[in-house]
Amino acid sequence: MESLQNLVLTTLDREQVIENSIALTLDGAPVDQLALLGALNALTSRDVIVYTPIDVETWVLTDEGTSIADTGSHEAKVFNSVPQGEEGISIAEVQKLLGEVAKFGQGKAFSNKWIKKNGNNLVRLTETIVDKTQLDLQQIRDTGSHSDAVTNDLKKRKLIEKRKSSSFKVEKGPKFTLNVEKEATDITQEMLKSGAWKTANFKKYNFTTAQGIAPVGGHVHPLLKVREEFRQIFFELGFSEMPTNRFVESSFWNFDALFQPQQHPARDAHDTFFLKDPATDDKLPADYLERVKNVHSKGGYGSIGYQYNWKIEEAQKLVLRTHTTAISSWMLYQLAQEKEFRPVKWFSIDRVFRNETVDATHLAEFHQIEGVIADRGITLGDLIGVLHGFFQKLGIEKLRFKPAYNPYTEPSMEIFSWHDGLGKWVEIGNSGMFRPEMLRPMGLPEDVSVIAWGLSLERPTMIKYGIDNIRELVGHKLDLDMVYKNPICRLDKKMGREG
């Protein structure tokens, strides 16, 4: 930078003006005009020089053009491969010698009347040739130009191409000097000590033309955009959010509290991720634990239970939660500990983990959306009504329910919605009324029922953003551009009557 500034100043001092900066050289090499622009701007800001840009179009040689300028044209090579005399050389021989070049050069060598065919041989028609193509290319390489006829022809043959280049006309400015004092960009300790800061020549802030660095903001992943929409729907319906920051959960809250027997296949290492270190949770509420043990092994509250030997060791095992219903059971237990029962409407949306084989629609982790309502005297009819209200907010009007089984709900219903595009009913969620075997041991009053439902967040997200392989949505194959460019999510929500 400094040497470029020096070059400009000394040249101006000597010649008054630099007509075209393209001619400048530094240590024998042409000056990079972009780097020069930096130096010119620095000098211009101090009125030492003024400059105007010159835009010129020049011709430059392509790789092939360069090779011809160096070693001759294809036609000249063909000519040179033909010996003097009547006999000449066989076409096959020339091909062997020159390969591809023979094919390209022959025609032109014929039309230039340099050689002719004699049977299967090529013979010379002249003793000397002028390789005009080579000479033209050399001229262009040296001067950047030639007559239009020549440049048009060479361009067609892809031997040259146009290049735009910017250079500058530079003249002295009102404060021209050979000794440009370096401007200070910082107040240093020395300046303060010596008082030099009072007279120092400070560089001006460039607030007007400096481009600055493009700020890299965060980008919200599509799953989180859709999650935000679901949160808003729950809030509009008067639900509050459960705290879901418990990715590691004890088997107790994930399974036992939900009346899921200890020998249930879902509690196998094939289906669930168990933790090694720490492997267990020993801070489970003792009296409640006892009631859960009893309801599993002996029954109670009108149930005969599962009639097996319930083991605390199994309940203490830590797992990556397999469903957000683990949060719901933990929250309902807290609710039951309050002095007086109060009705609640809760939801959660967060990540769960299952030891699954990964394919286009399954990963070992995904997100669940869960809604829970606890109140006195609510029924299956309430659940059906709430589900209609919830899915209507998403623009889904037609619902059907199919009896299903969950260890913790009775009755249980799979939720199906009519899919116009597919022309069939598709499963969109699972739901049910929590069993007394789950609620009574917690201490909830007998007339309190709890309805709940769950669905995945991935499925509506993939539909919304047109992604058909889950690995393009989550994981290392994810295209960051997809995350950057996708718009915020607006689900096709129907306004409620209040809307």
d(CA 314, CA 262): 7
Closest CB to ligand PHE among 106 and 250? 250
Report if residue 452 touches ligand PHE, rule: CB under 6 A: yes
Q: Which two tokens stand for residue 440?
A: 């009574």
Q: Shortest approach of ligand PHE to residue 326 CB, angstroms? A: 9
Helix (H, G, I), strand (E, B), or coil: what is residue 395?
coil
Q: Shortest approach of ligand PHE to residue 330 CB, angstroms? A: 14
Report if residue 254 touches ligand PHE, rule: CB under 6 A: no
Among 105, 305, 432, 436, binds ligand PHE (CB under 6 A): 432
d(CA 451, CA 400): 17
Q: Which stretch binds ligand PHE (CB under 6 A): 107-115, 133-141, 298-306, 425-433?
A: 425-433
Could you tell me if 178 and 9 are in contact, meaning their C-beta atoms sit under 8 angstroms apart?
Answer: yes
In sequence order, the β-bridge partners of residue 29 are: 26
The 8-class DSSP code of residue 141 comes to H
The alpha helices in 218-376, defined as continuous H runs, are 222-236, 251-254, 286-297, 312-316, 325-337
Q: Shortest approach of ligand PHE to residue 375 CB, angstroms? A: 16
Among 453, 458, 460, 462, binds ligand PHE (CB under 6 A): 453
Q: Shortest approach of ligand PHE to residue 286 CB, angstroms? A: 26
CA angle, corner 78, sides to 160 and 80, nearest 5? 110
Q: Shortest approach of ligand PHE to residue 242 CB, angstroms? A: 12
Q: Which stretch binds ligand PHE (CB under 6 A): 164-172, 390-398, 446-454, 458-466?
A: 446-454
d(CA 168, CA 21): 5
Q: Shortest approach of ligand PHE to residue 432 CB, angstroms? A: 4
**Element of type H or E holding 190:** helix 189-194
Closest CB to ligand PHE among 112 and 406? 406
Q: Which two tokens stand for residue 334?
A: 């807290």
Q: Which amino acid is at 305?
A: G
CA-to-CA dists, residue 78 to 106, 133, 150, 159, 395, angstroms: 6, 14, 22, 18, 76
Closest CB to ligand PHE among 5 and 430? 430
Report if residue 293 touches ligand PHE, rule: CB under 6 A: no
Q: Shortest approach of ligand PHE to residue 254 CB, angstroms? A: 10
Q: Which two tokens stand for residue 217?
A: 């903001």
Closest CB to ligand PHE among 88 and 432? 432
Could you tell me if 51 and 40 are in contact, meaning their C-beta atoms sit under 8 angstroms apart?
Answer: yes
When CB distances to ligand PHE are compared, the closest residue is 454
Closest CB to ligand PHE among 167 and 430? 430
Using alpha carbons, select from 182, 173, 168, 170 the residue that is nearest to residue 49: 173
Q: Shortest approach of ligand PHE to residue 273 CB, angstroms? A: 15
Taking the CB of residue 486, how many other CB atoms lie within 10 A of it?
17
Q: Which stretch binds ligand PHE (CB under 6 A): 65-73, 120-128, 451-459, 476-484?
A: 451-459
Among 106, 316, 431, 449, binds ligand PHE (CB under 6 A): 431
What mask, x for binding ligand PHE by CB under 6 A, covers residues 393 to 422? -------------x--x-------------
Taking the CB of residue 255, how many other CB atoms lie within 10 A of it?
28
The 8-class DSSP code of residue 397 comes to -
Q: Shortest approach of ligand PHE to residue 497 CB, angstroms? A: 27
Measured between its terminal Cα atoms, the distance across the chain in Å is 64
Among 134, 316, 430, 461, binds ligand PHE (CB under 6 A): 430
What mask, x for binding ligand PHE by CB under 6 A, covers residues 314 to 333? ---------x-x--------
Using alpha carbons, select from 29, 31, 37, 32 the residue that is nearest to residue 53: 37
String of DSSP letters for 48-113: SEEEEEEEEEEEEE-HHHHHHHHH--HHHHHHHHSPSSSS-EEHHHHHHHHTHHHHHHHHHHHHTT
Could you tell me if 69 and 138 are in contact, meaning their C-beta atoms sit under 8 angstroms apart?
Answer: yes
Restricting to residues 477-496, name those near ligand PHE by CB under 6 A: none
Q: Shortest approach of ligand PHE to residue 251 CB, angstroms? A: 15
d(CA 450, CA 257): 14
The dihedral over CA atoms of 245, 248, 251, 253, expressed in degrees to the nearest 10, equals: -10
Q: Shortest approach of ligand PHE to residue 366 CB, angstroms? A: 10
What mask, x for binding ligand PHE by CB under 6 A, covers residues 49 to 88? ----------------------------------------
At which residue do the structure tokens 């995904």 appear? 366
Among 72, 105, 305, 454, binds ligand PHE (CB under 6 A): 454
Q: Shortest approach of ligand PHE to residue 361 CB, angstroms? A: 15
d(CA 371, CA 310): 30
What mask, x for binding ligand PHE by CB under 6 A, covers residues 224 to 253? ------------------------------
Closest CB to ligand PHE among 136 and 370? 370
Kindly list the residues in this chain that would bind ligand PHE in the complex (CB under 6 A): 323, 325, 370, 406, 409, 430-432, 452-454
